[in-house]
Amino acid sequence: MRALVQRVRHASVEVDGAVVGQTGPGLLVLVCAMQGDSAAQADALAAKIAKLRIFKDEAGKMNRSLLDTGGGALVVSQFTLAADTRSGNRPGFSTAAPPAEGERLYLQFARALAALGPEVQTGRFGADMAVSLLNDGPVTIWLES
């Protein structure tokens, strides 16, 4: 699985003009399931992200995790993280998991993250979504399981 994690002051996702998910201070996590990914990989990636020390401590150093801060997470499916841009000018997405498998793993990831404690809200898999955020730092981390 692939994830792009952004530390945010707030983030929200809209579908057809209606907010379907949002978070205050915490993380916006864009997630893509790749062909061959498993539920175990989704669980491991969720645990890694929950414990990722990218929030400031009292000394201003990135030493605290989402679990330490009590922040929330907005998890949004993002199949375009599978983009293959090695040749030509049009990205290919053939390495992304098929839609049914991608949705299953996306939801598994969101459930696994929520089970660790943070409040987790999601976008809508397969929908045309508008994501808004105020990146904090900015801090943006790429992860791959």
| Domain range summary for the chain, segments of one domain joined by + | 2-138
Rounded (to 5) percent helix, strand, coil in the chain = 25, 40, 30
Does the annotation mark 41 as catalytic? no
Q: What is the pLDDT of residue 27?
A: 98
Domain 2-138 maps to which CATH number in 3.50.80.10, 3.40.50.300, 3.30.300.20, 3.30.830.10?
A: 3.50.80.10
CB 119 within 8 A of CB 52: no
> What does the alpha-carbon distance between residue 26 and residue 135 come to, in Å, rounded to a whole number?
10
Q: What is the pLDDT of residue 119?
A: 98
Q: What is the pLDDT of residue 127?
A: 97
Does the annotation mark 79 as catalytic? yes
Q: Which segments of the chain have a pLDDT < 70? A: none
Q: What is the pLDDT of residue 113?
A: 98
Does the annotation mark 125 as catalytic? no
Among candidate residues 65, 79, 75, the one with its CA nearest the CA of residue 109:
75
Structure tokens at 62: 């990135």
Q: Which position among 23, 55, 79, 109 bears the catalytic label?
A: 79
Number of helices (H), then strands (E), in the chain: 3, 8
> What does the alpha-carbon distance between residue 54 and residue 121 come to, in Å, rounded to a whole number?
20
Q: What is the pLDDT of residue 4?
A: 98
Q: What is the pLDDT of residue 70?
A: 97
Q: Which position among 23, 41, 78, 108 bears the catalytic label?
A: 78
